[in-house]
Amino acid sequence: MEVVICRDYDEMSRKAAAVVAGIVRGKPDAVLGLATGSTPLGLYKELIRLHKEESLDFAKVTTFNLDEYVGLGPTHEQSYRFFMDSNLFRHVNVPVAATHVPSGTAPDLQEACRWYERRIEDAGGIDVQVLGIGSDGHIAFNEPGTSLGSRTHVTVLAEPTILDNARFFARKEDVPTMAVTMGVGTILEAGKLLLLANKASKAEAVAAAVEGPVTSMCTASALQLHPDAVVFVDEAAAGKLKMADYYRWIQQKKAELR
C-alpha cells in the first residue's frame, strides 16, 4: 500500500485526479469506479477542469458507482445518481448510458445486485476505483462486520453512518437506513484502488485501515491485501499514522527518481 500525505485537500484532490486522468489517457475506454460524498468533490472538480481545459476525453469511458440509498430514486436530490449527475457526469462527455449507479428502487433489489455484478464483469472489470472512508473505517457502505469477500448487496446502515450523513438531509429521520453497495470483494477486484481522506475526523479510521490489522470490523483495512492501492490523505487525516515520516520519505525518494 502506498500512502501519499498531501499539504491540504486541494493538493490531495489534484494528485488523485492526476492518477485517474493518466489511466483515462492511457486507456480511453477505461472503466472507472466512482464514489460519492464530500471527499471526492475536489477530484471531480479537477477532472472537469482537465476535460474543459486539457481535452481529457470521457467519450469511451464507462463508470460504476459504489452505492445508492434504498428508496431514493434518481431524481431525489440526496440520491447518489443525482449527486453524480450534478457533480461530474453533466460536465464531461461521458455517455449517460455508460454511467452506472446501483438502483435503490428496483422491484427486486437482490436481482438488481446480481445484475450490477454481471454488468461490471461484462465491462471487463473496473480499472481504477475511487474510495472514501467512513469514520468507523468502512468503504462504500460495507459497515463493520461485513465479509471481506462480499459482493454487491443490500445492507443496513450503522448508526455512525446515519449520523455522518444526516448533515445532507433536513432531519436525521430522513436519512435512509438501508443501501445497495458494492461488496468488499467486488472492490478488491479493481485493477487499482485510490482511497481519499481529509480532516482530523478521519485520522483514526485512516490509521486503522493502513496500519491496523486486516479485519472486517474496519473494511477499509482490506486494501492492505490489494497489490495496487494508494491512500491519499491531507495532513490532518494523516495525524494518527505512526509511520507518517516514513511515508513522506518514500514519496521524497520516488520524486528523486522521476
Indicate which CATH number applies to the domain containing 200.
3.40.50.1360
Catalytic residue selected from 46, 68, 127, 143: 143
pLDDT of residue 258: 77
Report which residue type is found at 87.
Answer: N
Number of domains in the chain: 1
Q: Containing domain of residue 106, as a range?
A: 2-257
Catalytic site residue 91? Answer: no
Please state, for a pLDDT cut of 70, what percent of the chain lies above it.
100
Q: What's the CA angle centered on 184, arms 13 and 9, to 5 degrees?
A: 15
pTM for the complete prediction? Answer: 0.96
Closest CA to 175 of 165, 185, 184, 187: 165
Residue 29 a catalytic site member: no
Strands 2-6, 62-65: parallel, antiparallel or unpaired by DSSP?
unpaired
Choosing from 46, 127, 136, 164, the catalytic residue is: 136
To the query of whether residue 54 is one of the catalytic residues in this protein, the response is no
Which residue is catalytic, options 51, 138, 153, 226?
138
Residue 164 has pLDDT above 90, yes or no: no
Over residues 67-86, mean pLDDT: 97
143 is catalytic: yes
Exposure string (b/e) for 106-124, b if CB count within 10 Å is 16 or more? beebeebbebbbeebeebe
